[in-house]
Structure 1
Amino acid sequence: MTTSLDNLQSALEAALGGRIKAFKRDRGEITITIPAADYADAMRLLRDDARLKFEQLIDLCGVDYSAYKDQPWDGLRFCVVVHLMSVSLNWRLRVKVFAPEDDLPIVASVTEIWSAANWFEREAFDLYGIVFDGHIDLRRLLTDYGFIGHPFRKDFPISGHVEMRYDTETKRVIYQPVTIEPREITPRIIREENYGGLH
């Protein structure tokens, strides 16, 4: 395993060079962070370079780093994490890219490099509001068409902003402000004398 990781690390450093902003090797895995400006070119190199051959995109997801590990976060807020696999060379790689703007997070789309990224990028857009520049059909995937906001952002309220219900009078689905009042529930503990056969 160590030899394989050494070979992958050498191949990554030779192919990407200064495009690697951060390099982490932990638990038998390699994670590299690429600047947003170099992201599309670096991803194409990861697929096309004969030393790397990452033919498959396995997963792509968004991450909101605000309050990361319940601590204040001093870096960029939104990140896209991609998991790649080289079938021919038997390598796996995690690639991270941070959107340069927190107010409107934008990174390049990789759908032209790996078509499998299509729905993953749509999901990250829907849930985190990360815009993938160059995506040909970037629209919501999991939430409703009229949904407002991005529910996986850490500042999104747990109860949401609106609720949906079917109105029998108008015979259609309507949206209305959330009527749920947040409350703190404390469990009631009842102790019985003979519980569990103990006296």
Structure 2
Amino acid sequence: MGCCSGRCVLIFLCTLQLLASLERQVFDFLGYQWAPILANFLHIITVILGLFGTIQHRPRYIVLYTVWTMVWVMWNIFIICFYLDLGGLSKDSDLLTFNLPGHPSWWSEHGLGCVRKEVRVTDEQSLESHAYISVSGCLLEHHYIEVLHSAVQIFLSLLGFLLACYVVCILTEREDSALETGVRQRGPTKPPLRQ
């Protein structure tokens, strides 16, 4: 099997997908985005299984990865709709944080070129002082960064789906031909003689 075979390309793609998912997981952890954290965790596990299946020639693991890539594409389409306020969704809701207020995307305050200003608000009735944070001057707004992350994930997943289908076909053809070759070498089996 050559270096540019479908299997090697799928190994490279799974590794790239794993790195992109780990990067996304870090920033979701920083923003306390709990729903994406759980989804990313499942995705990382499934990509590792797909990588293992590809390396070890196990089509069942690759099929699991293939099915998951379609679920992952749907999840990322939901994230895109969420951050672009499509389909009745709103990026200002606390849906991704399981209704825990005050935890927006990490990119909303720490985006590229953003200038962050904190103003302390003291309330005599409150035991804690909260800060109002204003962000200005961002080169790219946070919801576009999240949409870009999801678009990259969709692209990698669709490419992974196609490659995984190809690798599963190749592996099953090899297994079938190996079984046929084994049957031919042994010859036809004769039923036992009755006495």
Please, what TM-score do these two structures have when normalized by structure 1? 0.23
TM-score (norm 2): 0.24
Quick check: which has more Rg, 1 or 2? 2
